[in-house]
Amino acid sequence: QVQLVESGGGWVQAGGSLRLSCAASGRINGRNAMGWYRQAPGKQRELVALITSGGSANYADSVKGRFTISRDNAKNTVYLQMNNLKPEDTADYYCNAKTFSLLGSTLGDYWGQGSQVTVSS
């Protein structure tokens, strides 16, 4: 069983930066992707960024050029560096990890507890 523990949320003024971390307690083997989602009040959860076990990263258009996702496979940890934060980035941010079979089917889908990020104008 994999558990994801997040840290690094908080409050910041617009234009500031925050870094989120997510550490997996169990080893995530094989083909996998780790990512960050966010959910603002009254809105659906949306993908912010993800990174595969091979290092390929994808971002939501709204955060491209401002956010950077990275991972340390030796530490089973994924990071989200958030720069030039905007009030519309305010949300609960959730870490996610998915593992896949060789044929691409999802084997495991794990979520962190959520970290609140508040950006004031």
Whole-number Å distance between alpha carbons of 5 and 19: 14
More confident residue, 29 or 52: 52
Residue with tokens 């959910």: 39
Residue 46: pLDDT over 80 = yes
Whole-number Å distance between alpha carbons of 107 and 39: 24
Token digits of residue 68: 């950077």
Share of the chain above pLDDT 90, in %: 79
Which tens digit of pLDDT belongs to each residue from 98-111?
998 888 898 899 99
Q: Which residues pair with 99 in a beta bridge?
A: 32, 108
pLDDT at 74: 87
Which tens digit of pLDDT belongs to each residue from 13-24?
999 999 999 999
Amino acid code (one letter) for 1? Q
DSSP annotation of 71 reads E
